[in-house]
Chains A and B, each alone.
Chain A
Amino acid sequence: MTLLGARPRIAVIVFPGTWSERDFAHVAVEVLGWEAQLVWHAEAELGEPDAVVLPGGFAHGDHLRTGAIARFSPIMAAVEAAAGEGVPIIGSCNGFQVLTEAGLLPGALMRNDHLEFRCDWQWLRVEQPRASPAWLGELSDGETIRLPISHGEGRYVADEETLDALEAAGRVVLRYAAAGGAVTHEANPNGSARGIAGIVNERGNVLGMMPHPERAAEEEVGGTDGLRLLRSLERWLQEQPAAVERGL
Chain B
Amino acid sequence: MTLAPPPAEQRHGLTDREYELVVEALGRAPNSVELGMFGAMWSEHCAYKHSRSLLGRLPREGARVLVGPGENAGAVDIGDGRAVVFKVESHNHPSAVEPYQGAATGVGGIIRDIFTMGARPIALLNSLRFGPPDPDEETDPTTAARNRYLMGGVVGGIAGYGNCIGIPDVGGEVVFDPSYSGNPLVNAMCVGIARHDEITLARAAGAGNVLLLVGASTGRDGIQGASFASASLGADSEERRPAVQVGNPFLEKLLMEACLELGATDAVVAMQDLGAAGLTCALAELTARGGVGAEVDLDAVPCREGGMSPYEVLLSESQERMLIVVPPGRVDEVRAVFERYELAAAAIGHVIDEPVIRASSGGELVCRVPGRALADDAPRYEITGSRAVPVDADLEALAGEPADASVLLDLLASPNARDRKPIWRRYDHMNGTNTLVGPGAGDAALLRVKGTRHALALSIDGPGPARIGALDPYLAGASAVIEGAMNVACSGAIPVGITDCLNFGSPETPLGAWQLERAIDGIADACRILDVPVVSGNVSLYNETPAGPILPTPVIGTVGLLEDRASAVPMIWRDGDELWLVGDPAGDAAALAGSELAWRRRRRGGTPRLDLPAATSVVWLLARLAAGGMSGAAHDLSVGGLAVALARMAIAAGAGAEVELEGERPTATLFGERCGRAVVAVRPADSERLAFTAREAGVPVHRLGRAGGERLSIRAGATRLAVGLDELAAAWGAPL
A-side residues, CB < 8 A to B, are 16-17, 19-20, 22-23, 26-27, 30, 40, 42, 57-58, 60-63, 116-120, 148, 150, 152, 212, 214-215, 217-218, 220-222
Question: Pick the contact of B436 from A40, A62, A150, A220 — CB < 8 Å?
Answer: A220
Chain A residues with CB under 8 Å of B426's CB are 116-119
B-side residues, CB < 8 A to A, are 159-160, 163-166, 248-251, 253-254, 340-342, 425-436, 448, 450, 565
Cβ-defined contact, B342 with A16, below 8 A: yes
Chain A residues with CB under 8 Å of B253's CB are 16-17, 19, 58
Cβ-defined contact, A215 with B433, below 8 A: yes
A222 to B441, CA, bound (A): 12
Closest 9 CB pairs of A and B: A19-B166, A61-B250, A150-B428, A119-B428, A23-B433, A58-B164, A117-B426, A148-B430, A215-B430
Known: A16-B342, A221-B436. 19 other contacts (CB 8 A): A16-B254, A17-B164, A23-B431, A23-B432, A26-B450, A57-B166, A58-B250, A61-B251, A117-B159, A117-B160, A117-B163, A150-B163, A150-B428, A212-B430, A215-B430, A215-B433, A220-B565, A221-B434, A221-B448
Cβ-defined contact, A61 with B164, below 8 A: yes
Chain A residues with CB under 8 Å of B166's CB are 19-20, 57-58
- Given A57-B166, A221-B436, decide whether A119 and B342 contact each other with a Cβ distance below 8 A: no
A220 to B564, CA, bound (A): 13
Chain B residues with CB under 8 Å of A40's CB are 340
Cβ-defined contact, A221 with B435, below 8 A: yes
Cβ-defined contact, B429 with A119, below 8 A: yes
A152 to B434, CA, bound (A): 22
Chain B residues with CB under 8 Å of A17's CB are 164, 250, 253-254
Chain A residues with CB under 8 Å of B340's CB are 40, 42
Chain A residues with CB under 8 Å of B434's CB are 221
Cβ-defined contact, A152 with B430, below 8 A: no
- Given A19-B166, A220-B448, decide whether A119 and B433 contact each other with a Cβ distance below 8 A: no
A212 to B450, CA, bound (A): 19
Chain B residues with CB under 8 Å of A152's CB are 163
A17 to B258, CA, bound (A): 12
A119 to B159, CA, bound (A): 10
Nearest to A61 among chain B residues (CB) is B250
Nearest to A150 among chain B residues (CB) is B428
Of the A-B pairs whose beta carbons lie under 8 Å apart in the complex, a sample of 27, sorted by A's number, is A16-B253, A16-B341, A19-B166, A19-B431, A20-B166, A23-B432, A27-B433, A30-B450, A58-B166, A58-B249, A58-B250, A61-B164, A116-B159, A119-B425, A119-B430, A120-B425, A148-B430, A150-B428, A150-B430, A152-B163, A212-B430, A217-B433, A218-B433, A220-B565, A221-B430, A221-B435, A221-B448
Chain A residues with CB under 8 Å of B427's CB are 117, 119
Chain A residues with CB under 8 Å of B435's CB are 221
Cβ-defined contact, B433 with A221, below 8 A: yes
A40 to B340, CA, bound (A): 9
Minimum CB–CB distance from B89 to chain A (whole Å) comes to: 23
Chain B residues with CB under 8 Å of A148's CB are 430
Minimum CB–CB distance from B126 to chain A (whole Å) comes to: 15
Nearest to B169 among chain A residues (CB) is A119
Nearest to A220 among chain B residues (CB) is B436
A243 to B159, CA, bound (A): 44
Minimum CB–CB distance from A42 to chain B (whole Å) comes to: 8
Cβ-defined contact, B433 with A214, below 8 A: yes
Question: Pick the contact of A117 from B428, B432, B433 — CB < 8 Å?
Answer: B428
Q: Give the residue among A27, A60, A150, A217 with the most B Cβ atoms within 10 A.
A: A150
Chain B residues with CB under 8 Å of A30's CB are 450
A218 to B163, CA, bound (A): 22
A62 to B250, CA, bound (A): 9
Chain A residues with CB under 8 Å of B165's CB are 19
A222 to B160, CA, bound (A): 25
Minimum CB–CB distance from A151 to chain B (whole Å) comes to: 9
Minimum CB–CB distance from A37 to chain B (whole Å) comes to: 17
Minimum CB–CB distance from A95 to chain B (whole Å) comes to: 14
A99 to B431, CA, bound (A): 21
Minimum CB–CB distance from B577 to chain A (whole Å) comes to: 22
- Given A16-B342, A221-B435, A221-B436, decide whether A118 and B425 contact each other with a Cβ distance below 8 A: yes
Q: Give the residue among A16, A19, A119, A152 with the most B Cβ atoms within 10 A.
A: A119
A220 to B430, CA, bound (A): 12
A72 to B341, CA, bound (A): 16
Chain B residues with CB under 8 Å of A57's CB are 166
- Given A19-B253, A119-B426, A150-B428, decide whether A26 and B433 contact each other with a Cβ distance below 8 A: yes
